[in-house]
Amino acid sequence: MPLPEPVTAYLHRAAPGPRHARLRAELHANLHQAMLDHRVRGLSEHDAWTAALHDFGPPQAVHAAARPHQRPLRATLTALLLAATLGGAAYATAAQGLLR
């Protein structure tokens, strides 16, 4: 069964573009589970989807919350390498001061 249009629109606003396809899939799975939870409580499918979207809040908030987890691997590795280099330099400087 195809997704209702408001759900599709929500997913594309919360995780726009092809770059966020995995995030969109994860969000879809969680929204679907929330919808099923509402169905078990007796809501119609339409009302259950509406309630699930309400539970998740504005799509902009979902997108903003996911942003820190989307840092590219290269930038993360560069930051770690820089931190290790600076940490090593600080350790060497401190060790030189102790040896004098």
pLDDT digits (tens, 9 = 90+) for 32-73: 999 999 999 999 999 999 999 999 888 888 877 765 555 565
Residue 79 inside a domain? The answer is no
In a domain? residue 52: yes
Query: What rounded mean pLDDT belongs to the chain?
Result: 83
Q: Is residue 83 part of a domain?
A: no
Residue 12 covered by a domain: yes
Query: Model pTM?
Result: 0.64
What is the pLDDT, as a whole number, of residue 44?
Answer: 97
pLDDT of residue 72: 63
Domains in the chain, number: 1
When mean pLDDT is compared across 2-11, 26-35, 80-89, the lowest value belongs to 80-89
* Cβ–Cβ under 8 Å, residues 27 and 15: yes
Tell me, yes or no, whether 94 lies in a domain. Answer: no
